[in-house]
Structure 1
Amino acid sequence: MTKLIIKDLSKAYGGHVVMPNINLTINNGEFVVFVGPSGCGKSTLLRMIAGLESITKGDISLNGKQLNNVHPSARKVAMVFQSYALYPHMTVEKNMAFPLKMAGVNKRIIDEKVADTAKNLQLAPYLDRLPGALSGGQRQRVAIGRAIVREPELFLFDEPLSNLDAKLRGEMRIYLKQLHQKLDATMIYVTHDQVEAMTLADRIVVLNQGQIEQIGTPEELYLQPKNRFVASFIGTPEMNFLEGNNQNQLFKIGLFNSLNTIACNGPITLGIRANQVTVDHDTFDAKMKVDVIEPLGHARLYYGKIGGQKFTIESQESFNIGEEIPVNLSQSIQHWFDADDLRIINTNEARNAA
């Protein structure tokens, strides 16, 4: 039963602390995704788990065994890199067999494992080819196959799809999901693409500036973000944010015909996702003039401003540039954030913010 425990982990370069204190437990069979903007520390954290980056303080243990001073090759961890890291002069078969050969595994066992893995990855027809004769998706499958034959206790993926085009990325996402289900393996996946995170993960770890902002299922992060950073990073397009000032310890939007109120002690921000805005021609709080239209096929994204603040609406209704869209914010799903420290004040999944 694979269990990874990260306790009080920190990383510093000289006197500069880039990761102050990470605590995280990953259970057997989980597909956990580290997500966050560039420079947030997600790849550094993954490399520390793999043993490719030193630990400043704290502990990493896998199945009860501390990994801090264990050589990467002895960690029972397999890593798939963004660049594939295949040997260009070796065939697919030799690339996949290489880690087992280096470990001194019997040739008959190596041949059996490579053949079986190649069949499962639909690579059997390409075993005699060099990596240069393969597509990007095929090369990535070879890199994954090289990891699988080692039968590791933990798989690590460092942005493995970022070099692929949009169509291949979509296909490989489905493939990785199916592979995880088939192997019932424990996997950690790093990406800056929150769409990949939402579609692949059992749980997502949102990182920002070397710290964990929130851990949860894709649905929890989307519907119940703990702060404005998570709310803005998770979901496409980005959540709408409307800034306001409190009056008599109540937030009054002031931009709309009907005022919504919520108890607060200072400036406050209202957040509403584009697909959760209620378009209402009869009872509306405000109108947004359409400046830009982005067709999605199943719906349209409309961009404009409300009360001078940028706003986006996703709707299946048809509007033209220059038209005004009537919106009922009191009937939209609302999130409230403290404007000073950006924490969530109240996530209301009902139809009323009061």
Structure 2
Amino acid sequence: MGGSALLRALRHRGLLYNGQRWMSGLGRDGEEIQTMLEEAYTDRGEEEKERPRLDRRSLTESTVLLFPGQGSQELGMAGGLLKYPNVREMFLTANKVLGYDLLDLCLRGPIDMLNKTVYCQPAIFVTCVAATEKLTQENPTLKYLCIVALYAVKVRAEAMQKASDAVPSGMLSVVGKWQTKYSTACAEAQDHCLNLGIKDPVCEVANYLFPNCRVIAGHMEAIQFLQDNSRKYNFSRTKLLPVSGAFHTRLMEPAVEPLAEALKGLTFMKPLVNVYCNVDGRRYKQGPAIAPLLTKQLVSPVRWEQIMHAIYERRRGKDVPRTYELGPGQQMGAILKACNLKAWRSYRQVDVFKEEDTEVA
């Protein structure tokens, strides 16, 4: 991905580079990346100096992009994207930012390493960004993200991994029934932990996925208690997620300061397209409010069900936008189907896995 392309991606996403502090830990590779950004910043021959104006389109002409998160990772992801322009270069640039071969990890693992937060978050991020390259080839109206955001993801992943290593914890996907009392289940799981001698136990809803489905996170003893007593709490199905910590709970508080410090080197502008916040389920409206919400997201539940309603809710008879899921798996599509069947009928998943005619070596 060339320097001018990086700058265009930054500006279209409402994110601008501001200062050099976040490059300080990257050594020689950091100097190279810094040079790329400086060249991009001064290269204005291919673009207007003012922020571009977007055409107002009808709902039938609009597009929704859904990006999966941690827990969707699988070996082989990104293998089906390598034949598209710029994808290999994206991974080579990511290697310089991260300090390891990200593409090899995505394709060959080992899976235990890929499942670790410190590796998983950058892997999913870059794979999702690369998937937009495939989508632009088939529908050339969309562009991709940049290395500045990847560095923020790197800092976030490292901080969350450190917080996860400090306390044995996990996340449990729970499908309940109309009579399920999630607050009661979490409270009794916390009492169980207290009886085991665990001080200040955590067990709380970390993600509102779709009607009657939650992700509960906390101390591993609490998670195990809920699994063992699923019938008592009217859980029809439970599944332990392949993640290494209790994300979006107060167990992630140690990760807040490192991420906030990394974000100080960035200036956020008002997004040119609607981008929804996981903390409150609403659109980001002002650039300065974005960074505080990104840090708050670490310790706040994800309001995904609310976001789905906010995006697709409209008057009867109105068409819904096209929806693409970019990344490994079809989890976002399954959630969309449970939230809004009409919107799901206009959904398509952009496959990121190896196709028979794709060379990955």
Please classify the TM superposition score into its range, dividing by the shorter chain length. under 0.3
More helix by share: 2
- Give TM-score, length-normalised by structure 1: 0.25
